[in-house]
Amino acid sequence: MQEPTLLLLTALADAPRHGYALIEEIATISQDRVRMRTGTLYSALDRLLQQGRIRIERDEVIDGRARRTYALADAGRATLAAEADRLRAMVAEADRRLSVIRPMTRGALA
């Protein structure tokens, strides 16, 4: 899964959000490492809508501007859960391999 998709699904996992709130939440989740641009965000949202992973929670007009709020659909929640499981397994394997100290490796580091 591409990182922008993972970040978007994660940002919607606990609450529906509109575009600007998603940009801010993604920055928070990534500890400001990722600042998603508007064009990238809306392209990804359109794709996730077409895939049925997210849904439109509501459309409203605030101060004369249209605002669409998105929510995680059941398919998106399942996708995110599967990706979280995959990442946990990968991290566990990386940790396991890092904890194995071989005599040859030890000598190579000295």
Model pLDDT, residue 103 = 55
Q: Residue 17 is part of which domain span?
A: 3-83
The verdict on residue 47 lying in a domain is yes
In this predicted structure, the answer to whether residue 109 has a pLDDT above a threshold of 60 is no
In this predicted structure, the answer to whether residue 108 has a pLDDT above a threshold of 60 is no
Domain count, the chain: 1
Q: Which amino acid is at 9?
A: L
Token pair for residue 39?
A: 């064009």
The pTM assigned to this predicted structure is 0.84
pLDDT in tens, 21-39: 999 999 999 999 999 999 9
The verdict on residue 90 lying in a domain is no
What is the rounded distance in angstroms from the CA atom of residue 7 to the CA atom of residue 23?
10
- Which CATH number does the domain housing residue 53 bear? 1.10.10.10
Model pLDDT, residue 63 = 86
The verdict on residue 96 lying in a domain is no
